[in-house]
Amino acid sequence: MADVFDKCSNWKDYKIAKATGLYPYFKAIEASHASTEVEIDGKRIIMVGSNNYLGLAGDPRVKEAAHEAIRKFGTTCSGSRLLNGTLSLHEELEHRLAKFLNREAALVVSTGFQTNLATMAGILGRHDIVFSDRQNHASLLDGIRLGYATEKRYRHNDMEHLEKLLQDADPDAGKLIVTDGVFSMEGDLCNLPKIVELAQKYKARVMTDDAHAMGVLGEKGRGTAEYFGLEAQTDLVMGTFSKSFASLGGVIAGPFDVINYIKHKSRPVVFSASMTPAAVAAALKALDIIEAEPQRRARLLDIAEKMHNGFRAMGFDTGVSVTPVVPVFVGDQVKCFRMWKQLFEVGIFTNPVIPPAVEPGHALLRTSYMATHTDEQLDRVLEQFERIGRKLKVIPETRPTSYTPVKIARPGTYVIRNEASQRWAAASAGLLADRGFSLEQIARMTPGEVANKLFDAVETLTWRAANLQPDDLKRLSTAPLKLWEKRSGIRNLPGVLLEKGANFFMKNGTRPEA
């Protein structure tokens, strides 16, 4: 008889990560120094993995506002907005955000994730159709499921595919096109001008998730719609407070009737505790600073340009990004973890992104920057990336003689994405083939090189076993019949492969070069 807990005990990749010394997650931060540096395990580390874009999380004015709210209102509201959880602070923040975003009304919700759940669950019904970019944030995807609408996913930023889906849809159904403004992994923008054009042609509404754009893009920092000059044509805009607003929570803004309906009808709003007083006050003070200090946005975009082009000058590929989200392409997920670890050991905090968050062969280190990073810190990051990138053969031994400079999404530029290299494009599309090596090559290797190749193989196989994708299963189905027959008797193939890999590492320890 199956046990609902079976999947938990059969999950092996955590053990493998720990056994190989490559586990990168849940690193406990013990202290923060002006947000740009943190302490982990007693060691001071430059933080280039945070979404604190304007550097306001450590701003004394924001911290004092949070302290004052606690002194006045306590630590929590102890209830939902509908009943006892609405403070004058909530109403002030909503009024200010509606004015800031040029909208009739705004509603603040306890988290950014929950804001998307609340919006989708509130306005979507069984007879509606929602058109969603395939790279939209998980909160949008989960919110769509909660809303019961028919979901149609279009290929990332593929406007021809979106139009085909709109053409084939029931013309009498309610339609919503929803997209990230800035895509959080690759850093490119949605093609909002074309989306708006298609929405008007097929009578659909438009919503942007501006979690990574609000406070960053546009002359006033209002996000993607302001950047493209399309605020009047964008029906709903969502933002989070955990990034530029140095707090926790989210906002949905748009027509009064729509926001009022979500406020009263959406279960994630009605049945959840409201934002804490400190979080609301911090967001309010951050909004004051965003409106008063545009130089922070200018500095942030200058930093983004410096880092993109600094990486590209070394031979790294930062792909399609036009924002302070700067992904550094590595390719192989095991090498990605190794590079993350070596950067961490020399005091650089990055975020490794591997399948299924990206396509197989498209592993990357996601870096992101703050307006308060110093040039000295940034130069240190570039220096260590170059040294470790060469050591791991992610970049060539010598710098390229030329590279294509990155165009940053500054006000008035209207850029959407940079042109990707062929390698990036192939990896992003899941077309990057693995390259093996011949027996002749092995014969020329030293024993140490052979040992390192063996460790490579075991690391790669065990990590991939943890994330078997449909394409992997298809390839397995073409294996020799005898092998496949043996596989059919194994209940949990990934778990078995992972366990064997773990045993290998536990017996043999670290790789020879370590």
Catalytic residue among 90, 137, 175, 212: 212
Alpha-carbon gap, residue 47 to 367, rounded angstroms: 9
Catalytic residue among 132, 184, 244, 368: 184
Apex CA 508: angle with CA 506 and CA 509, to 5°? 70
Alpha-carbon gap, residue 115 to 123, rounded angstroms: 12
**Exposed/middle/buried for 55, CB within 10 Å: 0-12, 13-18, 19+?**
buried
Are 237 and 204 spatial neighbours (Cβ–Cβ below 8 Å)? no
Alpha-carbon gap, residue 340 to 362, rounded angstroms: 15
Report the amino acid identity of residue 325: V
* Tokens coding 483: 């092998």
Catalytic residue among 15, 243, 263, 362: 243
Three-class SS of 103-146: CCEEEEECCHHHHHHHHHHHHCCCCEEEEEECCCCHHHHHHHHH
* Tokens coding 247: 């707090």
Residues 6+ apart with CB under 8 A from 192: 179, 181, 206, 208, 224, 225, 228, 230, 234
User: Is 88 a catalytic site residue?
Assistant: no
Please list the residues that pair with 32 across neighbouring strands. Answer: 38
**Exposed/middle/buried for 11, CB within 10 Å: 0-12, 13-18, 19+?**
middle
User: Is 421 a catalytic site residue?
Assistant: no
Place of tokens 């024993």: 447
Three-class SS of 345-411: HCCEECEEECCCCCCCCCEEEEEECCCCCCHHHHHHHHHHHHHHHHHCCCCCCCCCCCCCCCCCCCC
User: Is 90 a catalytic site residue?
Assistant: no
- A 10 A CB-CB count for 173 gives 14
**Exposed/middle/buried for 233, CB within 10 Å: 0-12, 13-18, 19+?**
middle
**Which residues carry out catalysis?**
184, 212, 243
